[in-house]
Amino acid sequence: MATDAPPPQKGSPALPSTEEFVAAQESAEFAELRKAHRSFAFPLTIAFIAWYLLYVLLSSYAGDFMGTKLFGNINVALVLGLAQFLTTFLIAWWYSRYSAAKLDPKAEAIKSRMEGGA
């Protein structure tokens, strides 16, 4: 069996061939993993970009609204700006939990199969 992979280093697992990588990529298992990732990442990315653009547009075109004081020297712009940071961290945390629960087990199964078959 011809392989395009370099020879394995001592103590490391054998690398799968190019054909094995292509076969894994075309498998239903990999398609399911890709679909699970995309169904989470794409909608959240679009939602976050829309939320960010809303903030930028409000800052550019609704200065009076963004300058509205809520309490003390705290205005709408500051609260929404801090909410951008909070949203970023929440999405990262949520993705981390989703990945650990849904994506990592599927990816690990593919990896184990690839390393075991090499």
Top pLDDT among 3 and 28 is at 28
Has residue 92 been placed in a domain?
Answer: yes
Question: What tokens were used for 110?
Answer: 């593919």
Mean pLDDT of 94-109: 95
Has residue 61 been placed in a domain?
Answer: yes
Q: Is the pLDDT of residue 4 over 80?
A: no
Has residue 32 been placed in a domain?
Answer: yes
Helices and strands per DSSP (H, E), number in the chain: 5, 2
| Residue-wise pLDDT tens digits, 56-86 | 999 999 999 999 999 999 999 999 999 999 9
Tell me how far apart the alpha carbons of residues 37 and 104 are, in angstroms, rounded to a whole number.
10
Tell me how far apart the alpha carbons of residues 53 and 91 are, in angstroms, rounded to a whole number.
17
**How many of the other CB atoms lie within 10 Å of CB of 100?**
10
Tell me how far apart the alpha carbons of residues 2 and 9 are, in angstroms, rounded to a whole number.
18
Q: What pLDDT score does 54 carry?
A: 97
Q: Is the pLDDT of residue 1 over 90?
A: no
Tell me how far apart the alpha carbons of residues 118 and 112 are, in angstroms, rounded to a whole number.
10
| Residue-wise pLDDT tens digits, 14-57 | 677 888 888 888 999 999 999 999 999 999 999 999 999 999 99
Has residue 75 been placed in a domain?
Answer: yes
Has residue 69 been placed in a domain?
Answer: yes
SS3 17: coil
Tell me how far apart the alpha carbons of residues 12 and 101 are, in angstroms, rounded to a whole number.
27
The whole domain housing 101 covers 27-117
Top pLDDT among 4 and 59 is at 59
Q: What pLDDT score does 19 carry?
A: 87
Nearest to 24, CA basis, from 102, 111, 108, 104: 111
- Total of domains in the chain: 1
Has residue 74 been placed in a domain?
Answer: yes
